[in-house]
Amino acid sequence: MSITYDLIFRRGTIVNHDGIGEADIAVKDGLIVEIGDLSRADAAEIVDVKGLHVLPGVVDSQVHLREPGNEHKEDLESGGRAAALGGVTSVFEMPNTKPPTTTPDALAGKVARARHRMYCDFAFYGGATTENVGILADIEREPGCCGIKVFMGSSTGTLLVEKDEDVLRVLRAIRRRAAFHSEDEFRLRERRELALLGHVDTHPVWRDAEAAVLCTTRLLRLAREAGKRIHVLHISTADEIPLLAHHKDIATVEVTPQHLTLAAPECYEALGTYAQMNPPIRGHEHRAGLWEGIAAGIVDVLGSDHAPHTIEEKEQTYPKSPSGMPGVQTLVPVMLNHVNEGRLTLQRFVDLTSAGPQRIFGMARKGRIAVGYDADLTIVDMSATRTIEDKWIASKCGWTPYNGMQVKGWPIGTVVRGHRAMWEDELDAQATGEPITFVENLPHH
């Protein structure tokens, strides 16, 4: 008698912890229940994925979805659509909304808004301020919290923690790994007049490499003093890579696809203020240094820093123009193109987008294709050639810095806990997103 599963993915090329090879994957009740030759097994639905690569679900551990407070740029639903269309099964969302996510209630409110409105699974960062140190431990324990985020430079509102003593207070108050925006606020203030009106190419002059290096050096010293783990977001300089390599016991490292793909001065000539983000896109030597960090295994994870703004907002004269660009929908195709061009292997891509986030943040049952794990799969066609276009972008902002870029490698299916959220560029009618569970935060029964 044949066993009946909910779903079998047949004959796909699985990229996993034991290498790359053809196998079938059986799913029941949202979990992976068998991997191997299931040619004799039966299921309610059988999907033939021969010729396609089946990856553990891609996690984008840095997105800004603008809800609450700036829903004209993005909201949880549109951001979740963009993620699923791009092959992303889970996202971690940042706290700089209006109001910011600086209390347990604010975080719980986001979880409630996102559940079954988002097409992917989700977690939220709590934001540290100089005022809420006493409740950071409570925020960390909230279901759906991926950790605490600290802005050491350039944030709006109250989310700026620039002084050493305040950073130490935050680190001492928490148990889990905290994520940092590392640019030195004092240097940024000193150099503000170097941002020349109408000259976006001065963005990396004002926010220079030294501002990043100074802050990361301070941060590593403070984390060491507090005996805490840190995650340094969107590294943008070649100089920080060797520095971070000396502190891998406490520090994990994120790089964005845009810092690996775009470079100054060309990006500012071609894109103008659309290329403006923090920390900035820098020169070729910095991009090369980041790729060296990937090759050396110093970089742990890729995050898109998806930060949408409307066309009207981005068209303002620099420096009035806001920093940030959309990226959750383009992370997979842009990086698969780098794989096809030989800059990294498909296994390293999986390490950076599934195993890496699992290792850093301790997601429960996510990050690999294994029996007993959530059936989160990103199914890709490595030979598909497509052109990324603004009209494909589901984000409310309606643009991408990669408009017109031809890529090889494309997401065909986004499977979230056994549910096909996206298949061949079509979203399912139903959004089934749930909060991610973390091992440092398992529910007590």
Which residues carry out catalysis?
A: 305
Question: Cα–Cα distance between 232 and 222 in angstroms, integer?
Answer: 13
Determine the Cα–Cα distance for residues 303 and 64; give it in Å rounded to an integer: 11
Helix axes 104-114, 76-85, angle to 10 degrees: 60
**And the tokens for 349?**
């891509």
Q: How far apart (Å, rounded) are the C-alpha atoms in residues 217 and 206?
A: 19
CA atoms of 325 and 286, how far apart (whole Å)? 19
C-alpha–C-alpha distance, residues 401 and 271, integer Å: 7
Determine the residue type at 356: G
